[in-house]
Amino acid sequence: MQSVTQAGEPVIQIRNVSTRLGGHVVHAGLDLEVRRAEIFGLIGGSGSGKSTLLREMILLHRPDAGSIRVLGVDLQNPGDEDAQALRQRVGVMFQHGGLFGALTVTENVGLPLREHTGLSSRLIDEIAAWKLAMTGLKPEVGAQYPAELSGGMLKRASLARALALDPELLFLDEPTAGLDPASAGGVDELVRSLRDSFGLTIVMITHDLDLLWQVADRVAVLAEGKVQGVGPMSELARMDHAAIRPFFDGPRGRAAQEQSVQPIGARRRGKPGAPSSKPR
């Protein structure tokens, strides 16, 4: 998708958002900004409101107070048409795939195209097959039903569906959870190449420290209903905040940090890899 807007301009603006769920305060005056064409990570302990924030950004939940603007649309009171148009510019990959069990994988991927464009059925199938190939799935997977797929294949198929309409903004909910190291490494490269080739803005919720160190440009740490720190992982690593330290201290945090000096593709599989595709 070609965008006329400049890189670095905010795609998502969250101002002073407060949310209560069943008497429990989830967000208390949360501020956040995501810029165009960046890979943004959202981390925080369980129950820190990451998923609720994601649901608010994709119009599934309305915050009690504050404003959220996504791609220039105010989500507090969007009209039906604006909301519908926005949904077509945003892709979401759900944690458990969210693929429709009654449809084959190809039909799942082609569904947004069938629903929102006038393209011929044959062309939609071709594009769907190609999107599947782009996410690294074999062509024969297209004829299968989601129930027949493994966890990693489900995630890839779900990603292919999220990309069907060439969204400008992509949300990934736990893209590597439940994947084997090789598949998880594949997801890292995929996320990076999506941003590099299509200029996508990617927001991901993840606990995968490798993914954060390797591909995230900036990361926000959520705790106590607020963003406790935003910045590249290397900056966050130097911060001294009770909510941030757990991600860097401990053997897992340190190992991921040490790994991050190696080029992408080299880690997880343990073989020497090619140099990073796009140095920043």
Binding stretches for another protein (CB under 8 A): 1-2, 88, 101-102, 113, 116-120, 123, 126-127, 129-131, 133-134, 138-140, 142-143, 145-148, 163, 165-166, 197-199
Shortest gap between Cβ of 2 and another protein (angstroms)? 5
Measured distance CA(90)–CA(71) in Å, rounded: 9
How many residues belong to the chain? 280
Question: Which one, 80 or 140, has the nearer CB to another protein?
Answer: 140
Question: Would you say 74 or 115 has its CB closer to another protein?
Answer: 115
Q: What is the DSSP letter of 97?
A: B
Query: Measured from the CB atom, is 21 or 143 closer to another protein?
Result: 143
Q: Kindly state the smallest distance separating residue 89's Cβ from another protein, in Å.
A: 11
Query: Smallest distance from the beta carbon of 52 to another protein, in angstroms?
Result: 24
Q: Tell the smallest beta-carbon distance from residue 10 to another protein (Å).
A: 21
The answer to whether the CB of 36 falls within 8 A of the CB of 5 is yes
**66 vs 265 by CB, closer to another protein:** 265
Beta carbon of residue 1, minimum distance to another protein (angstroms, whole number):
5
Distance CA 31, CA 35 (A): 14
Contact 185, 269 (CB under 8 A): yes
Rounded-to-integer distance, Cα 81 and Cα 224, Å: 35
Q: Tell me how far, at minimum, the Cβ of 84 lies from another protein, in Å.
A: 12
Which of residues 129 and 256 has its CB atom nearest to another protein in the complex? 129
Residues 6+ apart with CB under 8 A from 134: 160, 163
User: How many whole angstroms separate alpha carbon 173 and alpha carbon 182?
Assistant: 19
> Quick count: other Cβ atoms within 10 Å of Cβ 54?
21
Concatenate the DSSP letters of all residues of 183-194 into one string: HHHHHHHHHHHH
125 versus 208: smaller Cβ distance to another protein: 125
